[in-house]
Amino acid sequence: MKVLLVSPVFHGYWSAFAAALEALELDVTVHCYDAGDRLGNALAHRFERSTVAAGVREAATEATIETLAAVDPDAVLVVKGDALGPDWWDELAASRARSALWLYDELSRMTYDDATLGSVGHVFSYSPDDTRALQRRGIAAEVLPDGFDSLTAFTPRPSDRVSFVGSRYPERERLLRALSDAGVPVEAFGREWSRHPWDVLRTGRWRNPGILVHRDVDRAAYYGVMAGSVATLNIHGDGHDGFSMRTYEAPGVGALQLVDRPDVAQHYEVGTETLVFESDEELIEQVRHARRDPAWARGIREAGRRRTLAEHTLVHRMRKVRAAWA
């Protein structure tokens, strides 16, 4: 089967999705719809209603339509895709290709309408709440959680710090500062944390977070960061009912995951495969426990990795997508 994967650049996940599809013996062509002008894309993201954003959207739509015609695939998987205009969805619906859309964010943060979603063969969402809402509205939707890229090699980066990799939200910054104030060394990775002039300019994050920070790193590098850290934080905050990629990546690389969602129990055994915290005090004590008792922490790391490789890789997720095209 010849598959066209239409994906955002987003931390290089397109390569992980493509590799997972190829592991299932599918012939994959990748089109990253936002891989053009970096400055234009950054401005479009910050000023969504601007003429710049409209121009970027139009160019991305035209390029994606041209790729569809050139590849003439048997099936198309669109990841996120809300930066593409109506003409793209019309062309996809009119093509001979079977189609699927995978949403790794809440619908409330995107611009889809029911007509567009209804034109796609299969809609997958990482959000159970969104999936149920779409089903009630007559749209063929299924839950497809995020997963771990088990096909990317990485080297652990030993560190005595607690790590965090991801966007800089207020609750994440507050928790990292709480750990730091309690004497726990921490570090954060990502362009919104970075003090590099280009990162500060493109994100508008002028205030220094007051902890050790680093620029964006690629997936192999941050897998190594998580694996080598004393522990790694996974902070969802409010407004998310789906679980982030990090939920599966952290245990997948053998990290000691500290997650703020008790309902992670639907995927991992809490206390033996991952750790959950519900207060600053509990978080601080879990880190101190890991420092005092490395054997205890190592047992959780190993059990979490085994569960992930058995159930939660991106190859597992892509099997579900392939089955929808059968």
Summarised one tens digit per residue, pLDDT across range 254-296 is 999 999 999 999 999 999 999 999 999 999 999 999 999 999 9
Position 41 confidence tier, pLDDT thresholds 50, 70, 90? low
Q: How many whole angstroms separate alpha carbon 167 and alpha carbon 148?
A: 19
pLDDT at residue 37 in the model: 57
pLDDT at residue 11 in the model: 82
Task: Tell me the HSE value of 162 on the side-chain side, using a 13 A CA sphere.
Answer: 29
Q: Can 2-144 and 162-311 be said to share one CATH topology?
A: yes
Q: How many whole angstroms separate alpha carbon 16 and alpha carbon 11?
A: 10
Q: Does 194 score more than 90 pLDDT?
A: yes
pLDDT at residue 100 in the model: 98
pLDDT at residue 147 in the model: 98
pLDDT at residue 45 in the model: 56
Q: Region 21-28: what's the mean pLDDT?
A: 98
Q: Which residues pair with 31 in a beta bridge?
A: 6
Are 145 and 313 a contacting pair, CB within 8 Å?
no
Strand 186-189 with 162-165, pairing: parallel
User: Could you report the per-residue pLDDT of 125-173, keeping only the tens digit for each?
Assistant: 999 999 999 999 999 999 999 999 999 999 999 999 999 999 999 999 9
pLDDT at residue 259 in the model: 97
The CATH number that domain 162-311 falls under is 3.40.50.2000
Using a pLDDT cut of 70, give the percent of the chain over it.
Answer: 94
Token pair, residue 213, equals 């920070």
Q: How many whole angstroms separate alpha carbon 219 and alpha carbon 31?
A: 19
Closest CA to 242 of 164, 132, 101: 132
Burial class (CB in 10 A: 0-12, 13-18, 19+), 276: buried
Taken as a whole, the chain contains a residue count of 326
Q: Region 223-231: what's the mean pLDDT?
A: 98
Look over the chain and give the mean of its residue pLDDT values, rounded to a whole number.
93
Q: Does 35 score more than 90 pLDDT?
A: no
Residues 6 or more apart whose Cβ sits within 8 Å of residue 127 = 103, 106, 107, 143, 240, 241, 242
* Residue ranges of domains in the chain: 2-144, 162-311
Question: Which CATH class for the 2-144 domain?
Answer: alpha beta
Buried b (16+ CB within 10 A) or exposed e, 191-214: bbbbeeeebbebbebeeebebebb
pLDDT at residue 52 in the model: 62
Query: Residue 28 — φ and ψ, nearest 5°?
Result: -110, 130
At how many degrees (to 10) do helices 38-46 and 51-71 cross?
Answer: 120
pLDDT at residue 274 in the model: 98
Are 127 and 103 a contacting pair, CB within 8 Å?
yes
Q: Region 36-56: what's the mean pLDDT?
A: 60
Are 255 and 227 a contacting pair, CB within 8 Å?
yes
3 state SS for 210-249? CCEEECCCCHHHHHHHHHHCCEEEECCCCCCCCCCCHHHH
Query: Residue 153 — φ and ψ, nearest 5°?
Result: -75, 150
